[in-house]
Amino acid sequence: MAKKAKEQVRFNPKWSEAKRIDKARLAIVGRQNTALWAICLGISLLMIGCLVFASLIDTEEFLADNIVGVFVGGSAFMSFMMFAGSTILPMGKILDRTERLQRNMLKGSVKLTDTFMHLPVKKVSAYKQSFGYFGVLLFFSSVPCIFLNVMVLLDDRFTGVVAGSSAVISTAISAILLMFYLIYSSMWKMKGKGSSYFCTAMIIVFYLIWIGSMSSFMNVIFELAWLQALAGMPALCITAASVLFILLAQKLYVEKKQANAAWEF
């Protein structure tokens, strides 16, 4: 009886609506999601840890291994998984066909958004819940870029391919972070299939850069002098500006625009 009383969930008026949404989401999706989250978080932290320690402890071998992409891309990918697996907003603009296929296979809704739009919560709170997890993506994808570009400034040995690749990765990740607003049409609304094609193209570019920075076939591009010149302070500025833009846009524009918005996307 005591156990049953402990399990009883009650409405908590002290929580924000975004937190209530997240608690409800966790109740619906179950423990598998938490396990997936823990695995992705662990790998992401491991990637960042390896990047920092490998570059500091044995810099020569780190630079010779051409391994920047493994750590930066790996961390960004894992953090994207954490974000995509936790947001209640639809990833429809990117995964539209996959979602439709799943809906048909399961003979019903697979989107959490479909459930929440019928519950006593506002769309803006769903944006806030989603943005909380987007912060995770923001952190895990920008920290390795910031670290690498700081290293370019501090250590001459980081110039060359690493400089070129970190400049490109910083730019790609900045662009992908900005894509958040396009996915949810929260700032720009591309008509028809435009946003889907744009998002798909961005992801392909990101993966090409990711794979390219792990092998040598992209070195021709990474060794371009003007690209290497972007590494360090310019790349730090690009990353900082995109992060700042995202935070300000969310607080000053998106949350105001969505305050009384209908749930359609």
Q: Which is nearer to other proteins, 117 or 187 (CB)?
A: 117
Q: In this chain, which of 3, 6, 10, 191 binds other proteins, going by CB under 8 A?
A: 10
Q: Which amino acid is at 146?
A: I
Q: In this chain, which of 9, 57, 64, 225 binds other proteins, going by CB under 8 A?
A: 9
A 10 A CB-CB count for 83 gives 23
CA distance 226 to 113: 45
Q: In this chain, which of 20, 143, 165, 213 binds other proteins, going by CB under 8 A?
A: 20
CA distance 194 to 187: 15
Q: Give the x/- contact pattern for other proteins in 117-136, rule: CB under 8 A.
A: xxxxxx--------------
Query: Which has the closest alpha carbon to 96: 190, 219, 210?
Result: 190
- Copy the structure tokens of residue 61: 């071998």
Give the CA distances from residue 206 to residues 176, 230, 240, 242, in Å, rounded to whole numbers and listed in that order: 8, 18, 19, 16
How many residues bind other proteins, per CB under 8 A?
A: 35
43 binds other proteins (CB under 8 A): no
CA distance 18 to 16: 5
CA distance 161 to 62: 12
257 binds other proteins (CB under 8 A): no
12 binds other proteins (CB under 8 A): yes
99 binds other proteins (CB under 8 A): no
In the bound complex, what is the minimum distance in angstroms from residue 11's beta carbon to other proteins? 5
Continuous H helices in 30-189: 31-57, 59-64, 68-84, 92-106, 112-116, 123-154, 161-183
Q: Which is nearer to other proteins, 156 or 264 (CB)?
A: 264
30 binds other proteins (CB under 8 A): yes
28 binds other proteins (CB under 8 A): yes
In the bound complex, what is the minimum distance in angstroms from residue 57's beta carbon to other proteins? 45
Q: Which is nearer to other proteins, 29 or 208 (CB)?
A: 29
194 binds other proteins (CB under 8 A): no
CA distance 93 to 100: 12
In the bound complex, what is the minimum distance in angstroms from residue 189's beta carbon to other proteins? 13
Non-local CB neighbours of 239 within 8 Å, separated by 6+ positions: 142, 145, 146, 149, 170, 173, 174
Q: Which is nearer to other proteins, 85 or 234 (CB)?
A: 85
Rule CB under 8 A: which residues touch other proteins? Answer: 8-13, 17, 20-21, 23-25, 27-30, 106-110, 112, 114-115, 117-122, 260-264
